[in-house]
Amino acid sequence: MLLTLFSFFVFFGLGFLAHLAEVRWPLRSYDTPKSWMIDTLGFGVATAATIASRIAFPHIFDRLPTLPGLHWMTTASHFVSAEIPWPVAFVVSVILLDFLLYVGHRLLHTSALWHTHAAHHSVEHMYWFAGSRASPVHIMVQLAMGTLLGLVWPVAGGMHAIVASTIFYAVIQHFNHANIRWRLGTLEWLFVMPRYHFVHHGAARRLNDSNFGFVLTIWDRMFGTYTDPDDVPENFPLGLEYDVGLGRMFIGVAPRAPLPDAVSAD
C-alpha cells in the first residue's frame, strides 16, 4: 500500500514539475486545450492494466525457466543477483530494457497490434500527462518486456532499487511527452528528448513509424527507424489522420479504422 502511494506521489509530483517546465520553456503553442478528461480515463485504464498484469504475469512468466532449454535463465539470474552490485545492474537493466521496449513498441505498430496502440497516438496536444493515454494491451506488452528481463537480469537492492526505478521511469514517461523545448546539444545523438518523441507522435505514417526509442536513440539509428527532428517541418500535425471512438481504441478494437499500412505518408 505504501509503495502504491509512493508511486502516485512520485508520478504526480514529477508531473507538476514537468508542468512548470512546460509553462517556462514551451516547445510549441497550441490552439486546442489539453484533453485532461480523456487522459485521466487513459490513466485509469493504464493503472488497472498495470495492477492486473503485475498479479497475473508472475504466474505466467515464472514458469519459463522450468521449460526445456530455458534453465539458463535461472543460472543467469543467480549470477546477476550474487555477483553484480545493484547500481551497476540497474544501469545495465535500463539499457537492456530500453532495447526490449523498442522491440515491443515496434510490435505495437504492426497491423496485428496497431489498434491496441492507436489510443496513445490519438493525442493532439502533447504535454506531460498525455503519455498516460494507453490501452490495456499497450500496457501489457510493455510490462511483459520488463518481466522477461527480470527473469535473467534481476535488480536487487531492495527498496533502493524500487525507489530508483519508480522515479527514473516516471521522469522518462513525463519528459518524453512534455511540451518542453530543452536541448542537449551533441548528447541528443544518444538520448531521447521531447522533440524527438514528438516526431513519433506525428500524424503522418512516415513520422509515427519512426523514433520508437524511450531513453536511447541508438536503437532507431541501428535499425533504420530514426528520423532527425531537424528534418521535420515545424509544427507538423500530431495525432491520427482518421477518427475512431476512444472507447474502441481503449479496448483495442477499432474495426473501422485503417491499418497502419493504409495511413497516408503525406
- Is pLDDT at 7 greater than 80 in this prediction? yes
Bigger pLDDT: 190 vs 111: 190
CA atoms within 13 A on the CB side of 232: 25
Angle at alpha carbon of residue 58, lines to 96 and 41, rounded to 5°: 80
Q: How confident is the model at residue 257 (pLDDT cuts 50, 70, 90)?
A: very low
Supply the pLDDT for residue 138. Answer: 93
Output the pTM of the full model.
0.89
Supply the pLDDT for residue 157. Answer: 66
Residue 155's CB is within 10 A of a number of other CB atoms, namely 25
* CA separation for the pair 161, 106 (Å, rounded): 28
Predicted confidence (pLDDT) per residue in 24-40, tens digit: 999 999 877 788 999 99
Mean pLDDT of all residues in 176-184: 93
Supply the pLDDT for residue 18. Answer: 95
Supply the pLDDT for residue 106. Answer: 97
Enumerate the domain spans of the chain: 15-252
Give bridge partners of residue 238 from the DSSP assignment.
Answer: 202
Supply the pLDDT for residue 263. Answer: 44
Predicted confidence (pLDDT) per residue in 121-173, tens digit: 999 999 999 999 999 999 999 999 999 999 999 887 667 777 778 888 889 99
